[in-house]
Amino acid sequence: MSDMPTLILDHVSVPADLRMLKPNQLRQFADELRREVIDAVSVTGGHLGAGLGVVELTVALHYVYDTPRDRLIWDVGHQAYPHKIITGRRDRIRTLRQSGGLSGFTRRSESEYDPFGAAHSSTSISAGLGMAVARDLKGVDYHVVAVIGDGAMSAGMAYEAMNNAGSTDPRLLVVLNDNDMSIAPAVGAMSAYLSQLLSSKPYRNLRDLAKQVAQHFPKTIETTARRAEEYARGMVTGGTLFEELGFYYVGPVDGHNLDHLLPVLKNIRDAKQNRPVLLHVVTEKGRGHPFGEQSSEKYHAVQKFDVVTGTLSKPKANAPSYTSVYANALIAVAETDERVVAITAAMPSGTGIDNFAKRFPLRSFDVGIAEQHAVTFAAGLASEGMKPFATIYSTFLQRAYDQIVHDVAIQRLPVRFGIDRAGLVGADGATHAGSFDLGYLCSLPDFVVMAAADEAELTHMVATCASIEDRPSAVRYPRGEGEGVDLPVEGIPLEIGRGRVLREGSVVAILSLGGRLAASLIAAEDLAARGLSITVADARFAKPLDLPLLRQLAGSHEVLITIEEGAVGGFSSQVLHALAKEGLLDEGLKVRPMTLPDRFLEHDSPDRQYSIAGLDADGIVETVLATLGADTNWRPARA
């Protein structure tokens, strides 16, 4: 806990307490709130930069609006730590992203102050519009405010929502938190004055009067007058685009100056017109962190750190991360094939494509938060003979499923998908867990789907993707460190649809896909110590399946266990379907599929999550013994 006092913050438990403060107390309150955020994240780790950038904006919004009656939606939610502190959760803020603690994002079940849960970007305007329409249909009265960052505004969904809102004229405020894009001139006293003027009732009334007068003139004069007024406002504020979408644009406003923020927000709140408003607020991401000039990437999401020195307490890695292995393997294939290009959707460092971009800047494309576009863009590249690798987190790729089906799979275009964060991801929880890609890809005809059991296999699978020229392919790999195996000098393409056997036995066969292979081998040792003869095989391919291997395992074992880091409907479902079609279930083979449970798992450590899911070595042993049941006298070796 910081030694500096939080004299005002200590008296604010909920926003109603905040609204009891005098305006001249808010500056000190914001400073204390910023220190509290820094101190809390130093204990828990998490997203730091985004929250620090919106401290004053958070204070102003809760001060002006009557939350939770008024709905305040934070896009993505990784900037909501200050919001959580002043909405009754300060006593739990140091449990962020911990087992049983607060979520790192907004969550409806966590607080009435979180009207909409989020962890993926660009959903806030759509959700806010839905709330505003529901309000009007029910005949009740409250305000709806959606706060969206400039990065999230790169997603098409945000513009779809704005286009819809602009054509329906709901009473809705969208706050554009601009902390990166240079879409505004320098913010100063003049722009603040103009923003206050443009949001004021006298200006709006004068503008409405001018419109009414213009309507009595010939249409050409009315149109000319309207265009002149919009052009003049656009020249002053830069908001022409938003005006064309049907929003009343106000800004830019200094997002750290409460004297500018408060009157503008009050003007917008008190307006009686039914028209959506966009308030453009300029902020500095990471504002106020005490560590000097640091990389903005470094302080976007951090491990625990020393609050005095800023030194991160990240444990030393024992093996390279899967992400870095993937990036190096992709660079290696690009060195020998100039057709290889890399695509990511606003996550260059998270996917390792930043390293690819350093080596091949003209063959690397970050398309922004636009996964749908990324996939169809890759399809266009593939249609012209290039070798695109679309490298996207598993949960983010979900957003582009129609494009995968319609633009890639149906046309059999050889787009290669690098699916990062496959499986459980720890502190980010259910919103970022790669649980469903096996199900949503394996159902597609002629799609090659691989899962890497270790970093050496990942290297070979990247080379395999590069070699496939007649259909789409994907390789999925976990978050975090590899298994510590020796890396090959170069990746060698695998035979499509062929697995491998790592241990041979005769009673129980464990068929693993992906990152649970190490746990399967540990379980096999445990079971062998109990006198059981165990086979362990790595499927490598979820599609196409290795049918000869399946026939071998089914025909020579009493029990077949399948294990995967995915939900029901993925690899195990493919295996069971194949076994049934082949008639391999007709002779009494006992099959037990091990998948993620049919529920969303809470944020926790990855090891704990896999234990809860029953996908660790102990869970595999338990499943084998339970399957053998009354037919065996095996007893636990560690009893």
Catalytic residues: 285, 371, 399
d(CA 462, CA 337): 13
Residue 149 is given by DSSP the state E
Residue 26 is given by DSSP the state H
d(CA 47, CA 301): 4
Give counts: helices (H), strands (E), the chain. 25, 19
- Which phi and psi (to 5°) does residue 464 adopt? -65, -45
Copy the structure tokens of residue 616: 């660790």
d(CA 382, CA 473): 12
Residue 414 is given by DSSP the state -
Q: For the chain, first and last CA: distance in Å?
A: 44
Kind plus residue range of the DSSP H or E element containing 510: strand 508-513
d(CA 439, CA 441): 6
d(CA 35, CA 58): 14
Question: What residue has token string 């909920």?
Answer: 14
- Which phi and psi (to 5°) does residue 498 adopt? -125, 125
d(CA 258, CA 27): 7
d(CA 304, CA 301): 10
String of DSSP letters for 178-243 = ESS---SPPP-HHHHHHHHHHHSHHHHHHHHHHHHHHTTS-HHHHHHHHHHHHHHHHHHHS-HHHH
Coil, helix or strand at residue 403: helix
Q: Which residues contact 212 (CB under 8 A, 6 or more apart)?
A: none
d(CA 153, CA 136): 26
Residue 592 CA: distances (Å) to CA of 479, 518, 525, 562, 613: 26, 19, 19, 6, 15
Q: What is the Cα Rg of the chain in Å?
A: 28
591: region left, alpha or beta (phi > 0 left; psi from -120 to 50 alpha) = beta
Neighbours of 338 (CB within 10 A): 11
Neighbours of 136 (CB within 10 A): 14
d(CA 448, CA 495): 11
From the list 118, 38, 49, 116, the residue with the least C-alpha distance to 429 is 118
- Which phi and psi (to 5°) does residue 167 adopt? -95, -10
Environment class of 88 (CB within 10 Å of its CB; exposed 0-12, middle 13-18, buried 19+) = middle
From the list 566, 621, 625, 564, the residue with the least C-alpha distance to 590 is 625
Copy the structure tokens of residue 96: 């962020």
From the list 564, 508, 496, the residue with the least C-alpha distance to 536 is 508
Task: Count how many residues are written for the chain.
Answer: 639
Contact 552, 558 (CB under 8 A): no
Contact 199, 250 (CB under 8 A): yes
